[in-house]
DNA sequence: CCAAAAGTGTTATGTCTACACCCATGA
DNA sequence: TCATGGGTGTAGACATAACACTTTTGG
């Protein structure tokens, strides 16, 4: 079924009269999540042009006809932020309310990306107007967002919280090797809860496949402490995670 | 931000030159799930025209510029199947691979609907070419589907299985009043597992808010049996369900 | 009376949680 | 040596699963 459909932008399709159906611009927006100082952040760009000039927005751009939505998300991510290979890039959903972009009919397909340590990359790209914003600030309404992007960020956060339990995105926040405390911080930051380190370790090491020991140890921080073991991610993460979200909210109350 | 954007189909947008960006047709497809004889079914229509004439497809149609995606899904659902008020109508995701429709650039936004007892409604509509197909048949590859609809059905099934645990869609499959055996059948059909009736009852009646007794009882089937209590859905379903998906697959092996 | 399905009781087996306690390091 | 964080042990609370048993109907 994969016909070569590399038509130009405004060319006339073959099977349809273009006046038979309404036309839309299709954009792809990417929400980049990462951890900064043990807190969940999302990457936003400051708009230079109208409408919504000066407000924060989710990076994105037009989908090309000859690429998949996934490829478009990957391309826009690289072009706008310099990020090459996100550990996770997953579709969130489509947004197409009339008037959401006052210029024309736009349907946006939002994507969620997860990376670790995005700090340097953002600074090095031409999108110097990009910044990592704490999600807590967005939730509290402290960030002025363009279009319907406030809603999209909230939906994305909701999704990432579900996926943390249902899929293996947890290891996407950390590096190729990591300590169990680092991995635990991911859960604590995303769910805004406190998890017992002892029980966390048991849940993850109970059965093999989640984390495999590297034999190495990390060096403790300036405050001292026992050097923690370094693990790398196992293969079981493809089908979910070993940590279940606590029922009761023993969290810090940011939600 | 809700400007009146009731432009005609092929009119020129204001802020953009239409040659600056590629244009797409945006369609909305709705996957209707329901239970028939204790088995999960999906509603499909048989295509009359090329391409893929004679194959089964997900009902849907073009989004209008002056309606939301949700409204478009609701409208198409009514127009194509006669269903007026689905108990659940939720976005699944967007599909926009190049060449997925050989005629033009189409991005489809898929929706999942859940209804009970769709049998009569389908017969009464002009879409007499519609049919309820067992999802097990689709999973086994026994149904020839148009476009990339096979993949969409699989994604939808995956989604509905997750949502059954994470959200309150279970009661959408049954009527305004129901027995606990009927509700249990929903879980068993969607997850393809066997659940103990005694433990199921306890899980649901342990705390109030899930089901509230009506005081009435249903009449037993021809084989006899104690008349079961009739319940109606409580308010707690908005934030998830009380039944957790079993870890081990003690199911019938259709997956 | 008998089969069938609803509903209750009971018990064994896991899983979750909290917290006491030991280990290894930097200052 | 002390403070700090990593890692182990353990006991109670809680949830899950299996199944025997009672109840109430149709035939």
**Spatial contact of B98 and B82, defined as CB atoms under 8 Å apart:** no
Q: What is the pLDDT of residues B45-91, one digit of tens each?
A: 999 888 999 999 999 999 999 999 999 999 999 999 889 889 999 99
pLDDT one-digit tens code per residue, B184-233: 999 999 999 999 999 999 999 999 999 999 999 999 988 888 999 999 99
Length of chain B equals 255
DSSP per-residue codes, B135-170: HHHHHTT-S-BSTTHHHHHHHHHHHHHHHHHHSSGG
Distance CA B183 to C1' C12 in A: 28
pLDDT at position B36: 93
CB of A239 within 8 Å of a chain B CB? The answer is: no
Q: What tens digit of pLDDT does each residue of B188-199 get?
A: 999 999 999 999
Q: Is the model's pLDDT at B254 over the cut of 50?
A: no
CB B153 within 8 A of CB B31: yes
The pLDDT of residue B118 is 66
Q: Which residue of B has its CA nearest to A98?
A: B66
The A residues from 11 to 70 touching B (CB cutoff 8 Å) are: 13-16, 18-26, 62-69
B197 touches strand C (CB under 7 A): yes
Residue closest to A28 by CA, chosen among A68, A58, A60: A60
Residue A60 structure tokens: 């994105």
- Locate the chain B residue with the closest alpha carbon to A106: B65
DSSP state of A175: -
In whole angstroms, give the CA distance from residue B166 to residue B154: 18
Q: Taking the C1' atom of D4, which residue's CA lies nearest?
A: A225
Q: Is the CB of A179 under 7 A from strand D?
A: yes
Distance B174 CA to C17 C1' (A): 37
Strands A106-114 and A88-95: antiparallel
Q: Distance between the two ends of chain B, CA-based, in angstroms?
A: 46
Q: What pLDDT is stored for residue A247 in this prediction?
A: 73
pLDDT-wise least confident of A6-20, B16-30, B55-69, B94-108: A6-20
H or E segment and range at residue A80: helix A69-81
B98 touches chain A (CB under 8 A): yes
Joined together, the tokens standing for residue B99 give 């060449």
3-class state of residue A121 by DSSP: helix
Residue pLDDT, tens place only, B114-160 = 999 765 666 555 555 889 999 999 999 999 999 999 999 999 999 99
Question: What does the pLDDT read at residue A5?
Answer: 32
Q: What is the pLDDT of residue B101?
A: 93
Edge-to-edge strand ranges of the sheet holding B211-217 = B177-178, B229-233, B211-217
Cα dihedral A245/A227/A88/B164 (nearest 10):
-10
Is the pLDDT confidence value at B5 over 70? Answer: no
Query: From residue B236, how far is each of A70, A171, B168, B171, B206 by CA, in Å?
Result: 36, 33, 8, 11, 13
Q: Do B63 and A99 touch (CB under 8 A)?
A: no
Contacts with A95 from chain B: Cβ below 8 Å = 69
Instruction: Give strand letter and number of the nucleotide nearest B205 (CA to C1').
Output: C7
Beta strand extents in B116-252 (DSSP E only) = 130-134, 177-178, 211-217, 229-233
Stretches in chain A below the pLDDT threshold 70? 1-19, 118-128, 248-255
Q: Scanning the structure block, which residue is given the tokens 């389908």? A: B122
Give the integer Cα–Cα distance in Å for B34 and B47: 21
| Mean model confidence pLDDT for chain B | 87
Q: Counting every residue, how long is chain A?
A: 255
Parallel, antiparallel or unpaired: strands A106-114 and A23-36: parallel
Residue A102 distance to chain B (closest CA, Å)? 7
The answer to pTM > 0.75 is: yes
Per-window interface: B 147-186 vs A, CB < 8 A: 147-148, 162, 166
Facing residues of A45 across strands? A57, A130
């Amino acid at each position: 079924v994969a016909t070569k459909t590399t038509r130009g932008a405004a060319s006339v399709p073959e099977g349809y009269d273009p006046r038979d159906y309404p036309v839309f611009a299709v954009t792809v927006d990417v929400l980049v999540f990462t951890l900064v100082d043990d807190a969940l952040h999302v990457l936003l760009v400051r708009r230079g042009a109208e409408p919504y000039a000066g407000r924060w927005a989710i990076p994105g751009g037009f989908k090309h006809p000859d690429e998949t939505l996934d490829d478009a998300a990957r391309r826009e991510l690289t072009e706008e932020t310099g990020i090459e290979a996100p550990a996770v890039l997953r579709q969130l959903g489509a947004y197409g309310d009339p008037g959401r972009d006052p210029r024309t009919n736009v349907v946006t397909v939002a994507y969620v990306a997860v990376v670790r340590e995005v700090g340097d990359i953002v600074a090095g790209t031409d999108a110097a107007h990009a910044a990592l914003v704490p999600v807590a600030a967005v939730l509290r309404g402290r960030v002025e967002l363009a279009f319907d992007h406030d809603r999209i960020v909230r939906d994305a956060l909701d999704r990432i919280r579900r996926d943390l339990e249902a899929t293996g995105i947890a290891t996407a926040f950390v590096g190729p090797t990591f300590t169990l405390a680092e991995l635990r911080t991911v859960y604590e930051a995303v769910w805004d809860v406190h998890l017992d380190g002892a029980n966390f370790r048991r849940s993850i090491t109970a059965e093999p496949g989640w984390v495999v020991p590297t034999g190495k140890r990390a060096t403790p921080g300036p405050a001292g402490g026992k050097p923690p073991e370094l693990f790398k991610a196992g293969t079981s993460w493809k089908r979910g995670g070993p940590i279940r979200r606590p029922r009761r909210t023993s969290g810090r109350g940011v939600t």
